[in-house]
Amino acid sequence: MITIPRLIVITLLGIVTIYGTLWMLPSKEIRYMPDDELRAYALSHGLAAVPTTYKALLKVTDNPQNPLSPAKIALGKKLFFDPILSRDKTISCATCHILEEGGDDNLPTAIGFHGRANPKHLNSPTVLNAALAKRQFWDGRAGDVEEQAGGPMQAPFEMNITPDLAVERVAAVPAYAEAFGKIFGGEGNRSVTFENIRKAIGAYERTLLTRSAYDRFLEGDNNAIGAAAKRGLNLFIQKGCKGCHTGMSVGGQSLQHFPLRRALADIFKTDPFAFPNTGGFLGKNGEKKFRVPILRNITKTAPYFHNGEVKELKEAIRIMSKYQIGKEFTPKQIADVEAFLKTLEGEIVSYDLNLTSGAMLDGINLRGSDLSHRDLHEVSFRDADLRNCNFFGTDLHGANLTHAKVAGADFTAADLSYASLSYVDLSRTDLIETKLEQVNLVNAVWRDGKVCGAGSFGKCL
């Protein structure tokens, strides 16, 4: 007859045997691929380079519910750095998201209003490349940067402001009120809403993408990264790191269980992590599910993990290999992966719109932008959103504005000669002293609501 003590001993021996057997299983052999094959493999497994142009940016980060425009991005940037969005006017978004320091604050836990620390001792995630992520915050509770932007403003231990107070302060600044009106529409201060404040900040954050040597390698430059980094990328892909740290952002796409595995020495350990769980946070719904961190610029965002308990990148790599992959990397493998991660350290891309003569800007959103006194002759603005734009004194001769939205636009003293304004509603635009010689007005709507037909130039004017 098996006694209870003997049963306990047998059970413990079984557990030890299982863990020991799993730990000793041979790992998959790494095949170090030549450069072109490694690149093709990386690209085919979800990794991708950050775009270099504004048009390419729109394909990657534009939000249909919050269309990007240069004016909205500029407004969001001002708000991002403005402390009036905190109760005591001492903290801005940029306080905890220092763009020059990796997009975070390099503290174990965020410090906010009156020196208050995050009650769960949570580390500030980076804002850089966050727009590429499908999950925001450590528990993934927000779906995009617009939604995320409203959280810290209202948190009592961060910026500690109410939506009503934020709106009141922003609306009281004439330059802000005017900009919101032009960009979001509406008279007076009615366009200044908490939702629109979030949208403006989110629009700016959607441009905070970084490029590095890693991007250049993905685009074909074999000399962009060194031999150790290439070995590290091979390990990163073939050992399974890329399964969670994927996408253009190299992370942020999903929630994952952490730690996924437990080592033999951890059988009797009550703490679930390989480091002290300061703050007691256990992820979404307490299920140890965390948003996968973005690895771009990881070399600049120490300390690591949700509560900032790990200070060194090498130790973070060791922990992840042991508890997520199930096979602890050797010191050489850790050094190689670190070399790869260093190639992800990049600079913020300057996404300047190509506003020059002859540019093809069909369908572009420029709502509320100041485009006065520019040389934009023969630019194509077909189907563009030009509402509330300022074109005072701008050279637009020969430009194509067919089907463009121009309500509220100011073309005072602009040169629109030989331009195409076909299918454009001009009934709510300023055309004072505007040059309109030989302008194409087929099916354009004039001031009195008259529709200009083919060959009607002169009759409408």
Look at residue 247 and tell me whether its pLDDT is greater than 60: yes
**Inside any domain, residue 364:** no
- pLDDT of 208: 98
Higher-pLDDT residue of 268 and 101 is: 101
**Inside any domain, residue 460:** no
Domain shared by 72 and 180, yes or no: yes
**Inside any domain, residue 131:** yes
Q: What is the mean pLDDT of residues 217-234?
A: 98
CATH code at position 254: 1.10.760.10
- The dihedral over CA atoms of 199, 204, 206, 207, expressed in degrees to the nearest 10, equals 160
For helices 174-184 and 194-205, the axis angle rounded to 10 degrees is 80
429, 449 Cβ separation under 8 angstroms: no
Higher-pLDDT residue of 455 and 439 is: 439
Q: What is the mean pLDDT of residues 155-169?
A: 97
For 406-435, write each residue's pLDDT tens digit. 999 999 999 999 999 999 999 999 999 999
Look at residue 35 and tell me whether its pLDDT is greater than 80: yes
Single residue among 348, 373, 400 that ends a domain in this structure? 348
Domain shared by 248 and 284, yes or no: yes
Give the percent of the chain with pLDDT over 90: 84
Q: What is the pTM of this model?
A: 0.91
Single residue among 332, 348, 364 that ends a domain in this structure? 348
- pLDDT of 264: 65
**Measured distance CA(374)–CA(21) in Å, rounded:** 72
State the residue for tokens 């087929």: 442
Q: Output the average pLDDT for the chain.
A: 91
Domain shared by 283 and 177, yes or no: no
- pLDDT of 189: 77
The pLDDT-based confidence of 457 (bands split at 50, 70, 90) is low
Residue 208, amino acid: L
Look at residue 362 and tell me whether its pLDDT is greater than 90: yes
- pLDDT of 186: 78
Higher-pLDDT residue of 112 and 189 is: 112
Q: Which residue among the candidates 29, 101, 158, 437 is catalytic per the annotation?
A: 158
Domain shared by 170 and 240, yes or no: no
H/E/C letters for each residue in 329-351?
CCHHHHHHHHHHHHCCCCEECCC
Domain shared by 245 and 147, yes or no: no
The pLDDT-based confidence of 282 (bands split at 50, 70, 90) is very high
Domain shared by 197 and 233, yes or no: no
Domain shared by 203 and 215, yes or no: no
Cα torsion angle, 262, 268, 274, 276, sign:
positive
Single residue among 333, 348, 363 that ends a domain in this structure? 348
- The dihedral over CA atoms of 179, 183, 186, 188, expressed in degrees to the nearest 10, equals 0
For 59-101, write each residue's pLDDT tens digit. 999 999 999 999 999 999 999 999 999 999 999 999 999 999 9
- pLDDT of 24: 45
Look at residue 386 and tell me whether its pLDDT is greater than 80: yes
Give the percent of the chain with pLDDT over 70: 90
Is 309 an active-site residue?
A: no
- pLDDT of 233: 98
State the residue for tokens 């072109």: 36
The pLDDT-based confidence of 367 (bands split at 50, 70, 90) is very high
Domain shared by 191 and 116, yes or no: yes
The pLDDT-based confidence of 446 (bands split at 50, 70, 90) is confident
The token duo for 216 is 């250049």
Look at residue 454 and tell me whether its pLDDT is greater than 80: no
Domain shared by 324 and 290, yes or no: yes
Range of the domain at 329: 4-49+211-348
Look at residue 458 and tell me whether its pLDDT is greater than 60: no
The token duo for 404 is 């463009």
Look at residue 319 and tell me whether its pLDDT is greater than 70: yes
Q: What is the mean pLDDT of residues 233-261?
A: 96
Domain shared by 113 and 124, yes or no: yes
Strand partners, 400: 380, 420
Look at residue 21 and tell me whether its pLDDT is greater than 60: no
* Number of domains present in the structure of the chain: 2
